Amino acid sequence: MPWHTKHNSIKMEKEINTEELGEKIVTVLKTIYDPEIPVDIYELGLIYDVMVNTDHEVKILMTLTTPNCPVAESLPQEVKERVASIDTVKDAEVEITFDPPWNQDLISEEAKLELGLL
What does pTM read for this prediction?
Answer: 0.82
Residue 80 domain-assigned (yes or no): yes
Mean pLDDT, the chain, whole residue set? 86
Give the chain's domain count.
1
Q: Is the pLDDT at 106 greater than 90, yes or no?
A: yes
Pairwise CA distance, residues 114 & 38, whole Å: 9
Question: Which residue range forms the structural domain that includes residue 109?
Answer: 12-114
Pairwise CA distance, residues 4 & 7, whole Å: 8
Reported as a pLDDT band with limits 50, 70 and 90, residue 83 is: very high
Pairwise CA distance, residues 26 & 22, whole Å: 6
Q: Is the pLDDT at 27 greater than 70, yes or no?
A: yes
Residue 4 domain-assigned (yes or no): no
Give me the amino acid identity at 59: K
Q: Is the pLDDT at 1 greater than 60, yes or no?
A: no
Query: Within a 10 A sphere around the Cβ of 43, how many other Cβ atoms?
Result: 22
Residue 62 domain-assigned (yes or no): yes
Selection from 59, 56, 57, 50 nearest residue 17 by Cα: 56
Do the beta carbons of residue 79 and residue 29 sit within 8 Å? yes
